[in-house]
Amino acid sequence: MDTSLLYFIDLFGTAVFAISGVLLAGRLRMDPFGVIVLASVTAIGGGTIRDMALGATPVFWIRNTTYLWVILTTCVLTMLVVRRPKRVAWWILPVCDAIGLAVFVGIGVDKAMSYQDSALVAIIMGVLTGCGGGIIRDVLAREIPMVLRSEVYATACIIGGIFHTTALSLGYAPSTALASGVLSTLIIRLGAIRWHLSLPIFALNK
């Protein structure tokens, strides 16, 4: 996968994740500072924890502040736009979120493999990159994180990470392995959105 294209999609995913944080902050009637905080942790929280766990210093958004400007710009534009009633197809944000998620997972796995050689750790770092920000966002909002519910979200990340690391172990080029992981995560997540797929629920009888 072309490096410049991957970087562009990464910034796109950052913006989409930030939007989800802004929308949740709006539902909770937060002030502008709260909006920025919730948007920021959603967009870069997972990658920050990943870099800290891997010892990748400074973390990516300190090295490249473009991510911060993307988040701030997204917050301002979203707060201005959502105040005006507008019909937007329900699937647009979930599909964009799926694209960002898939790329985040791929980047997380790729970065983890550059710091160590455990496929299991790389998969965990990929899932953390994709889902970590959303978990922090939901915890701050006092909601059960989506990845802990039945929706196929983290599962798509895990499968994508498995495809990615398996392709690397089979000797495929890093770019090919990255593409396979990103596409598998994206296809599974889009399928879950399209057909409302979910995992079985574990519940104890009272």
Q: Is residue 51 within 8 Å of residue 59, measured between CB atoms?
A: yes
Tell whether 151 is covered by a domain: yes
Tell whether 46 is covered by a domain: yes
Tell whether 203 is covered by a domain: no
Domain region containing 39:
3-195
Please provide residue 151's backbone torsions phi and psi, each rounded to the nearest 5 degrees: -65, 140
pLDDT number for residue 20: 92
Does 85 have pLDDT greater than 60? no
Can you give the pTM of this predicted structure? 0.94
Instruction: Supply 175's token pair.
Output: 């770019």
Average of pLDDT values for 52-74?
97
pLDDT number for residue 175: 93
Identify residue 38 by its one-letter amino acid code.
L
Please list, in sequence order, all residues whose beta carbon lies within 8 angstroms of the beta carbon of residue 170, skipping any fewer than 6 positions away. Answer: none
The number of distinct structural domains making up the chain is 1
Does 5 have pLDDT greater than 90? no
pLDDT, tens digit (0-9, with 9 covering 90-100), for 90-112: 888 899 999 999 999 999 999 99
Tell whether 201 is covered by a domain: no
Tell whether 205 is covered by a domain: no
Tell whether 162 is covered by a domain: yes
Average of pLDDT values for 159-165?
98
Tell whether 206 is covered by a domain: no
Q: What is the pLDDT confidence band of residue 86, given thresholds at 50, 70 and 90?
A: low
Poorest-pLDDT segment among 11-20, 47-56, 85-94, 184-193: 85-94
pLDDT number for residue 1: 64
Residue with tokens 């991510």: 67
